[in-house]
């Protein structure tokens, strides 16, 4: 055991960035390696990713999506086929220039994203309208050569799923894009207890090569925004660049409509920054690798370990439960599992056994309840649900309390300087205003929410007529 | 639909290598890309890999193993830390030399295997005997810069799991190595219907940096051997190179004992070459993405599609079943699913419905049986088990019939020239004899089987005293 574990971590108010790094290290979610910008995802962190994978994989397979695996490398000429796309990605790719002791004749980039590979393949396998749609997904790692990195939030390598689907019509492709946005939102709400704003990116913030980029945006505890997932409608741009055509029912050649969408290991960073507190991680119950930790009290006394194991067996039917019967003190164990954010601690000692009861302690609120041992499985399960709901509500209240409306630049500046969080303001649609807002306040447009409200008639920046409500914020 | 699908593929006797490639393409298991030596694993091929993953992942998690994720890159200095290891891998790595538009100060190789990364991490997290064992596994892709490649069998990039475990004692590490070898053997036998020989590699064939390499070897239909999985005991070699020490109960510093083990997407190649025939793929039922294909006969007639869907619903409770109600002819559909190797075809037409029966056709033998609709789920499940057993027996009989004993080099040469398959022969233990055998016959030592037999007293090559039985063969 790392002895530093129960030492205090930096508090959020003292240094939020350091607090974040402390949790990542001390809750054993990730570690650094000697590889620049790349992280090691440790068992406890990887188990979270596996649960995210399982949720998404089951949902998309249930709606006809299939997993495939594309090469890790993209030859330079292939990356360059779609103009906007290569402009967006070229500055941040890693290049393989030597292989098997020889210099390569064409350099290969390690995939930053796989549109070009999917499109080359689609062009080969699509002939007729009968071949459509193709609903593909890939689980893999990608490389973005970032200058400054932080575990989970921004790393040179990260894990993700990338969906790539092609359709006969624009309508069908747009429906897919929105279906996935809803799926991501449900993942966040129902599994990660994380409220999100669904919206559309402005022209300047959208994905390199997309017609429309949809996003889910969430608010971290330091008041900064985080893009938690994106779903793009790419129109016919890639189809034209790669020649992905099909013959329709009338035998006419048509270009396919393309969508791509992704969520990444970044979500683990979001979970930390939304739910964590000064004692460490607070895991949303449905994603928690351990949901209940049983800590036997006075475990050397006759019958305690037996009873603790008996309770474990009962709970393990429906709950991810672990027992810590090591020789550490109960107090040490309490701190350790608080750091790891285990949602419920179950304490059981000789006096509890006598009274046929156990003590349940919530990680999120610290609340203790003494409950009878009978019907324990149901009680624990409903407590886990209750914790989920209450964590979601707390995060949503925080976000709502930190979302401010601005009607002119004075107000906007005042919010950025004296408060934090999302700013809601009307925008005329001009990229110059977006740019000016960024210069003056440091905030960028996060999204145009799908649920639009008309809070004023004029652009917060230029004062001209405006009909778009935009969420703004400083972002990760 | 690709019209070429139902055209004949090259027969095995005509050109085994071409037959293999035809199946890979026409059963839509994999495709080529413009990336040298890398393949695209298509949905039907990837679904096989997912089932292999699911089996192994559940088994190893059940015995306390945890998944982690290490960086994709290895800095040059790290790869060079263990001398034998780097000598084995350096000639076949791909190097990243540029990132984010800049030349790197130290080049990074794209991982060919991750021992060096795991060891660097282990050295940081291991302090006391209480931290041991660590039982880690990683699912990822790796790169080996191979000169000549073939889908699944030998590719520049392939998918695998790599297990990395460290233990306090040699005994415990050796037990782990053998546990994994048994697990791989069970996967092959119980899931892939693939008989394997368990054995130990000779010094010259073992993994770069290992003390002992255990292997499972299987025989393909062309008489060539294929290494299907390996499990290595690496002793203290890496621990010394990377300084992975723990203090034992007496407070003394000790080096850990290390094991690594892997199976790869190569197994998909083995399934093709062991079970496939001149009509295409033959899928072992337990790994088959589709176990039963329902082909409605005269599906335009009233009640046929309804009944077919009803049967599908019944079967889908326990069987991976699909219905093909497209407008292709039944004959076309038969060929298509034969090419894909679907274990059972279920035909149902108006006359069957009248008689309350269906027709079941086995892919492996072509055998047709008419069975009553009642109790269909049980009948199909026991047929799938029967097919599994019979495919395993067929493959085992083939292997046994193509395993020959040689007592001198004349016999050895004769077998290699006029027969094919495994050669069993005694060996004195001298690497020079191994080398001479390879020069004369083209065969390499595949393994020293764990179940040893003493078939003669003298080395097949030099005639000196020999006490090791070795399996030899030409290998993929």
Q: Give ipTM to 2 decimals.
A: 0.95
Beta-carbon pairs below 8 A across chains A and B: 164
Cβ-based contacts of A70 with chain B (< 8 Å): 33, 40
Cβ atoms < 10 Å from Cβ of B383? 20
Cβ-based contacts of A92 with chain B (< 8 Å): 100
CB–CB contact A67 B74 (8 Å) = no
Q: pLDDT, tens digit, for every residue of A258-286?
A: 999 999 999 999 999 999 999 999 999 99
Cβ-based contacts of B34 with chain A (< 8 Å): 75, 78, 120
Q: 């190097």: which residue's tokens?
A: B95
Distance CA A360, CA A366 (A): 10
Instruction: Tell me how close the Cα of B57 comes to any Cα of chain A, in angstroms.
Output: 11
CA within 13 Å, CB half, B201: 23
Q: Which CATH superfamily is domain A292-386 in?
A: Anticodon-binding domain (3.40.50.800)
Q: Which CATH superfamily is domain B404-473 in?
A: C-terminal domain of ProRS (3.30.110.30)
Evaluate if residue A3 carries a pLDDT over 50: no
Q: Return the CATH class of domain A403-473.
A: alpha beta
**Chain A residue with Cα closest to B45:** A68
Best to test chain B binding among A3, A43, A78 (most B CBs inside 10 Å): A43
**Facing residue for A46 by CB, picked from B68, B73, B120:** B68
Distance CA B80, CA B109 (A): 11
CB–CB contact A34 B94 (8 Å) = no
**Could you say which residues of chain B have pLDDT below 70?**
1-7
Instruction: Tell me how close the Cα of A322 comes to any Cα of chain B, in angstroms.
Output: 13
Q: Are B275 and B220 in contact (CB under 8 A)?
A: no
Among A423, A414, A457, which residue's Cα sits nearest to residue A443?
Answer: A423
Among B229, B283, B402, which residue's Cα sits nearest to residue B23?
Answer: B283
CB–CB contact A99 B75 (8 Å) = no
CA within 13 Å, CB half, A258: 29
Cα dihedral: A417, A421, A422, A423 (round 10)? -20
Best to test chain B binding among A1, A95, A126, A140 (most B CBs inside 10 Å): A95
Q: Which CATH superfamily is domain B3-275 in?
A: Bira Bifunctional Protein; Domain 2 (3.30.930.10)
CATH of B292-383, one of 3.40.190.10, 3.60.15.10, 3.30.420.40, 3.40.50.800: 3.40.50.800
CB–CB contact A34 B108 (8 Å) = no
Among B146, B153, B144, B191, which residue's Cα sits nearest to residue B24?
Answer: B153
Complete edge-to-edge strand list for the sheet that includes strand A134-143: A66-67, A134-143, A157-167, A257-264, A225-235, A212-219, A197-200, A444-449, A468-473, A422-427, A403-405
Q: How sure is the predictor about A147, in pLDDT bands with cuts at 50, 70 and 90?
A: confident
Distance CA A147, CA A154 (A): 9
**Facing residue for A130 by CB, picked from B1, B120, B140:** B1
Mean of pLDDT values over A113-123: 97
Domains of chain A, residue spans: 3-275, 292-386, 403-473
Which segments of B63-140 does DSSP mark as H helices, in order? 76-79, 83-89, 115-125
Is B92 within 8 Å of chain A by CB? yes
pLDDT of residue B87: 86
CB–CB contact B40 A110 (8 Å) = no
Is A108 within 8 Å of chain B by CB? yes
pLDDT of residue B4: 45
pLDDT of residue B7: 65
More confident residue, B35 or A288: A288
- B70: which 2 tokens? 């290490």
pLDDT of residue B15: 96
CB–CB contact B97 A99 (8 Å) = no
pLDDT of residue A7: 65
- B154: which 2 tokens? 């030998």
Best to test chain B binding among A80, A94, A157 (most B CBs inside 10 Å): A94
Interface of B with A in 143-172 (CB under 8 A): 143, 145-147, 156-157, 159
Distance CA B55, CA B126 (A): 30
Q: pLDDT, tens digit, for every residue of A402-438?
A: 999 999 999 999 999 999 899 999 999 999 999 999 9
Q: Is the dihedral of CA B460, B461, B466, B469 positive or negative?
A: negative
pLDDT of residue A6: 52
Best to test chain B binding among A34, A106, A142 (most B CBs inside 10 Å): A34
Mean of pLDDT values over A85-97: 90
């Amino acid at each position: 055991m790392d002895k530093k574990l129960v030492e205090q971590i930096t508090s959020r108010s003292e240094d939020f960035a350091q607090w974040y790094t402390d949790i990542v290290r001390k809750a054993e979610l990730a570690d650094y390696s000697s590889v620049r910008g790349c992280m090691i995802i440790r068992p406890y962190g990887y188990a979270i990713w596996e649960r995210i994978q399982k949720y998404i994989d089951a949902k998309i397979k249930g709606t006809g999506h299939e997993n495939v695996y594309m090469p890790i490398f993209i030859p330079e000429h292939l990356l360059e086929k779609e103009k906007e796309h290569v402009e967006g990605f070229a500055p941040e790719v890693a290049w393989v220039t030597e292989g098997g002791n020889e210099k390569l004749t064409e350099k290969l980039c390690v995939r930053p994203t796989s549109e070009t590979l999917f499109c080359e393949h689609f062009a080969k396998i699509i002939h007729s309208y009968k071949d459509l749609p193709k609903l593909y997904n890939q689980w893999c790692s990608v490389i973005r050569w970032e200058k400054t990195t932080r575990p989970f939030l921004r790393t040179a390598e990260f894990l993700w799923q990338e969906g790539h689907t092609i359709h006969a019509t624009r309508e069908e492709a747009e429906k897919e894009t929105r279906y996935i946005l809803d799926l991501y939102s449900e993942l966040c709400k129902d599994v990660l207890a994380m409220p999100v704003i669904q919206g559309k990116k402005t022209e300047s913030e959208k994905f390199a090569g997309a017609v429309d980029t949809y996003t889910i945006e969430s608010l971290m505890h330091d008041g900064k925004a985080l893009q938690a997932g994106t779903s793009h409608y790419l129109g016919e741009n890639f189809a034209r660049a790669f020649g992905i055509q099909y013959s329709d029912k009338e035998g006419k050649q048509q270009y396919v409509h393309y969508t791509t969408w992704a969520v990444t290991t970044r979500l683990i960073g979001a979970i930390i920054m939304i739910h964590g507190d000064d004692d460490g991680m607070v895991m949303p119950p449905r994603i928690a690798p351990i949901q209940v930790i049983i800590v036997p009290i006075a475990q050397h006394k006759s019958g305690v370990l037996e009873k603790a194991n008996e309770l474990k067996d009962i709970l393990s039917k429906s709950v991810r439960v672990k027992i810590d019967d090591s020789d550490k003190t109960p107090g040490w164990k309490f701190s350790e599992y608080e750091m790891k954010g285990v949602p419920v601690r179950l304490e059981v000692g000789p006096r509890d056994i006598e009274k046929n009861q156990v003590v349940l302690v919530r990680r999120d609120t610290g609340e203790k309840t003494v409950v009878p041992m009978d019907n324990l499985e149901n009680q624990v399960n409903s407590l886990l649900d209750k914790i989920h709901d209450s964590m979601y509500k707390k995060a949503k209240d925080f976000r709502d309390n930190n979302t401010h409306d601005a009607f002119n630049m004075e107000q906007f500046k005042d919010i950025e300087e004296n408060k934090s969080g999302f700013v809601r303001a009307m925008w005329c649609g001009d990229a110059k205003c977006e740019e000016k807002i960024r210069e003056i306040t440091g905030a960028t447009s996060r999204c145009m929410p799908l649920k639009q409200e008309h809070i004023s008639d004029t652009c917060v920046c230029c004062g001209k007529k405006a009909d778009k409500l935009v969420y703004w914020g400083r972002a990760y």
